[in-house]
């Protein structure tokens, strides 16, 4: 095992709380083991560790990431998401292969959404030549987590959102019965409604989305409309 991974294991194990781990495991439907480290403490330990232990090259980083992803306790996958984000200067065009691996292995909303937020948006800005090829492949995949990622990777782009791609990816998946796909559609539209409310309202009006997607998409806009009405 790489010394970097051994070091964070030692740090995390010192702060493990088995009683908290029981509730955290239950919250994740007993799919993963936990050490029982709450997010604020984990974030503090992560910041301190990454500041003192930077990695020097991509090969070392990739090895560390795969070792962290293989560990059973979920906190190590959360830590890994922060590790790759912190080492963005080491990313290269092939880094997407590791990102896809992490989306597809030990998949659940907690890691997939962290990956979408902290990696994918930044990656596709750094390497725009991979758009639309890679997200197109994900969108048509049978893997719901890749589909979810194709819908969500632009959620922080605001005015730089590619309408055509967002439309394409949502419409391809809009009839999915998967909760996490329907939720992703609503989330992506809700975020974009903060930048372009007219476009989002029109999109929802013109396309037959699920009730969940529609509710999520219009959440911010309906709240603002209610405020104006009361005011």
* 3-class secondary structure, 61: helix
Closest C-alpha among 61, 100, 94, 70 to residue 9: 70
* pLDDT mean over 2-11: 98
Same fold, 1-90 and 96-231: yes
Domain boundary assignment for the chain: 1-90, 96-231
On whether the CB atoms of residues 164 and 126 are closer than 8 A, the answer is no
Residue 230: what pLDDT?
76
Is 61 a residue whose pLDDT tops 80? yes
- pLDDT value of position 84: 98
Mean pLDDT of 155-181: 97
* Upstream peptide bond of 132 is cis (omega within 30 degrees of 0): yes
The tokens describing 144, both together, are: 């719901």
Residue 226 has pLDDT above 90, yes or no: no
Q: Which residues contact 123 (CB under 8 A, 6 or more apart)?
A: 91, 95, 96, 99, 130
Confidence of residue 176 (pLDDT cuts 50, 70, 90): very high
The shares of helix, strand and coil residues in the chain, as percent rounded to the nearest 5, are: 75, 0, 25
User: How high is the pLDDT of residue 93?
Assistant: 98
Domain spanning 1-90, CATH class: mainly alpha
pLDDT band with cut points at 50, 70 and 90 for residue 231: low
Report the mean per-residue pLDDT for the chain. 97
Domain 96-231 CATH (choose: 3.40.30.10, 1.25.10.90, 1.10.40.60, 3.40.50.2000): 1.25.10.90
**How many angstroms from the chain centroid is the CA of residue 74?**
15
Examine the pLDDT at 163 and tell me if it is beyond 90. yes
Report pLDDT digits (tens) over 87-135: 999 999 999 999 999 999 999 999 999 999 999 999 999 999 999 999 9
């Amino acid at each position: 095992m790489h010394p970097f991974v051994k070091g964070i294991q030692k740090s995390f194990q010192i702060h493990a709380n088995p009683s908290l781990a029981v509730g955290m495991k239950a919250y994740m439907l007993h799919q993963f083991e936990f050490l029982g480290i709450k997010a604020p403490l984990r974030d503090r330990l992560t910041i301190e560790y990454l500041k003192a232990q930077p990695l020097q090259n991509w090969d070392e980083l990739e090895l560390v990431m795969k070792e962290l992803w293989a560990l059973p306790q979920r906190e190590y996958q959360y830590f890994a998401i922060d590790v790759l984000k912190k080492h963005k200067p080491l990313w290269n065009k092939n880094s997407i292969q590791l990102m896809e691996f992490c989306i597809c292995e030990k998949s659940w909303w907690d890691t997939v959404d962290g990956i979408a937020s902290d990696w994918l948006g930044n990656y596709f800005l750094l390497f725009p030549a991979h758009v639309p090829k890679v997200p197109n492949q994900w969108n048509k995949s049978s893997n719901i987590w890749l589909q979810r990622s194709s819908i969500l990777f632009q959620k922080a782009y605001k005015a730089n959102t590619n309408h055509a791609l967002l439309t394409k990816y949502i419409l391809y998946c809009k009839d999915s019965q998967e909760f996490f796909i329907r939720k992703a559609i609503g989330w992506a539209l809700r975020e974009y409604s903060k930048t372009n409310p007219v476009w989002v309202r029109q999109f929802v009006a013109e396309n037959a989305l699920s009730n969940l997607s529609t509710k999520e998409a219009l959440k911010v806009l309906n709240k603002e409309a209610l405020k104006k009405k009361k005011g």
